[in-house]
Structure 1
Amino acid sequence: MARPLRFRYSPQSWSEQRVRREILQPLRSNIGARAVSPQFDVNGGWETHRFEMQNGDVALFARRDDEAYWMGNTETPSALWKTDKYGWREIPYHVSRWAQRELLADLHDGDPWLADYPHLSWYFLPVFMSKDGRESTRAFFREHAAGFPDAGRREATRFFEEFLSTGTLDEYRHVMSGKLGTSDHVDRVRMSAAMGEFVAAKVLVDAGYDVVPEIEVTTGHSLDFRATDDETNVLVEVTRPQPPANRAAAGPVAAVRDTAETKTNGQLAEHGGGATLFVDCSSFRDDAWAAVRDERPDVRHRPAVVYRARPNGRVEGYSKGSVPLELADAIEFVD
């Protein structure tokens, strides 16, 4: 499975003739590539190339002096096999900006409705245009409302657009967008769990905390977030129970208990305590959440917060134990 899109860097000189010989011709022979004019201009003295394949793949190449950058959701020409890979923030701005404009135009040509959500389009571009995941990741938003039940694609996508447009997670775009994955099929459970981390980040930010994802701890694991303010420094781990209809557990209360127990007996047990567990029930329909809300089951880890978000921004939940976070501005507590 290919990873989210990154750039390959070649510290060599590339002439027009070399581009045609070592990039275009091999791609043309293997997958029917053709060279087309880029859709956008670039500054900074770069010469740019765009290659389109018969199977819908696209590749971009920018060169100047003694260096060049390649990006594509297609096979990599052998001349670039041993080159190093870099993220979007690690390469010259002009190249990154040009590639971004090219791929966003392709994305919105294929899925015009996403053009109404520019920040989300940009944020998930590395997976929305990836080699293996470009169909499945878009379909997850388009056909499965990004994991929200009983919701339309637009209201669900707007929920994440409004949060991402704050720029809170921009610095962590590669690692966070990559959580959605680049599988060639829609894995609704796994993808919903990934979006649960964005819901958790929104809850923390709405409550007034700064968040940093993927915090390495001494056990060799990573916990999902560190939430901080002037007086707070708390580690948060997120789990998202599957909707009861999708699992063997007898009902929503059991689903919450079993999923939290798995997390508690695994990653959190090895960590040795000190983390707050977020149990995100946003995949639950109204009746399933009502059962959990009314019973408020223990989740065998304290402190813990159990909640459900809806696309309109409302978050309802309850807590167990002494939670070291002030979340009243983000969650309507029922206990």
Structure 2
Amino acid sequence: MARPLRFRHAPSRWTEGRVVGQIYRDLDRNLGATRRSPWFKQPARYSGERFEMDNGDIALFLWNDDEAYWLGNTETPEALWRTDKYSFEAIPDDVSRWATRELTAQLHEESPWLEPYPHLSWFFLPVFLSKDGRETTREFFDDHAAGFPDVTREEALEFYESFLRTRVLDDWREVMAGKLGTSEYLDLTRMTAAMGEFNAGHLLVDDGYDIEPEIEVSTGHAIDYRAESDDESVLVEVTRPTPTGQRRAGTPIAAVRDTAATKSDGQLEKHGGGVVLFVDCSSFPDDEWQSILAEQPDVHHRPAVVFRLRPSGRVEGYTKGNVPLDVPV
């Protein structure tokens, strides 16, 4: 599975002849390529190239006498194989802004339903236009409402747009967007689980906590969040059961227990305590969620928060054990 889009940096002298001979001809020979002018004006100190392949792949290339930057969802030309890779945030701002404009315009031309959601488009751009995941990641938001049952695409997109617009996860865009994966095969279980982390983040931020994702701990694992307020700092791990129609578990209660047990018997057991488990039941339709809420089953770990979030912002749920967080369930 390919990773989200990243830049390659080639710190050496580039000329028109070298671009044609080592980049364009390599692409054209392997895939069939057309060399075009960029859609937007490139940074002043660079010459800009846009390569469009016959199979729909694209690549952007900036070059001058000292260096070049490559970004593409296609095969990498051999001349760039040994170059270092960098995220959008790790390269010069004007280079990143130019590439973002180019790719966002293409994204909105191909998927105009994303245009009303600029921050969501920006946040997930590295996967929306990734080599293998550019169709499946968009399909997940378009046809599956990002994992919410019984809502419209627009309701789900507006919910995540409003959360991402707070910019609380901007510094971790690459790792958080990458959780969706970039596989050419649609994996609803993995993608929906990834959005569970965004749901938990929304719940914490809405309750006034500052959040930091991917907290490394001594066991070698990464805990999903650290939630902080003026007087507390709490580690939070998230899991998201799938509805019974998508798994072997015969009842919603079993689905919740089994999924939580996998997390608590593995990663959380090794950590040895001090982590709040968030069980995101936002995938369950109304009838299955009501049965969970009525029985309030244990989830093999305490403290725990079991909740269901709707795109309207409505939250329902219950807690087990002494939860050191002020959450609205």
- Give the TM-score band, short-chain normalised: over 0.9
CA distance in 2, matches of 1:314, 1:42: 44
CA distance in 2, matches of 1:212, 1:266: 22
Instruction: Quote how far apart the aligned CAs of 1:92 are.
Output: 0.8
Instruction: Quote how far apart the aligned CAs of 1:258 are.
Output: 1.1
Aligned to 2:110: 110
CA distance in 2, matches of 1:15, 1:248: 59
Instruction: Quote how far apart the aligned CAs of 1:246 are.
Output: 1.1
Q: Deviations over 1:37-71 (max 9, x none)?
A: 10001234121110000000000001133111000
1:21 aligns with 2:18: no
Aligned to 1:93: 93
CA distance in 2, matches of 1:165, 1:53: 33
> Structure 1: any 5+ residue segments left out of the alignment?
none
**Which shows bigger deviation, 63-72 or 22-31?**
63-72
Q: Which residue identity is paired with 1:213?
A: P
CA distance in 2, matches of 1:260, 1:44: 53
Aligned to 2:222: 222
Aligned to 2:267: 267
Aligned to 1:123: 123
Which SS does the other structure have where 1:211 is aligned? strand
Q: Deviations over 1:85-134 (max 9, x none)?
A: 00111101111111101111111111000001100000000000000000
Q: Which residue identity is paired with 1:300?
A: H
Aligned to 1:210: 210
CA distance in 1, matches of 2:116, 2:166: 16
Structure 1 segments (4+ residues) deviating >4 Å = none
Q: Which residue identity is paired with 1:146?
A: A
Which SS does the other structure have where 1:27 is aligned? helix
Contact 1:44 1:94 in 2 (8 A): no
Q: Which residue identity is paired with 2:302?
A: R
Which SS does the other structure have where 1:116 is aligned? coil
Instruction: Quote how far apart the aligned CAs of 1:192 are.
Output: 0.2
**What does 1:69-80 correspond to in 2, within 5 Å?**
69-80=69-80
CA distance in 2, matches of 1:267, 1:172: 22
> Structure 2: any 5+ residue segments left out of the alignment?
none
Instruction: Quote how far apart the aligned CAs of 1:254 are.
Output: 1.1
How many percent of aligned residue pairs carry the same amino acid? 62
Which SS does the other structure have where 1:276 is aligned? strand
**Which shows bigger deviation, 241-250 or 126-135?**
241-250
Q: Which residue identity is paired with 1:139?
A: E
1:278 aligns with 2:271: no
CA distance in 2, matches of 1:261, 1:43: 52
Contact 2:148 2:310 in 1 (8 A): yes
Aligned to 2:54: 54
Report how many aligned residue pairs link the two structures: 329
Q: Deviations over 1:230-260 (max 9, x none)?
A: 2111100000001011111121111111111
Cα RMSD over matched residues? Answer: 0.8
**What does 1:1-335 correspond to in 2, within 5 Å?**
1-328=1-328, 333=329
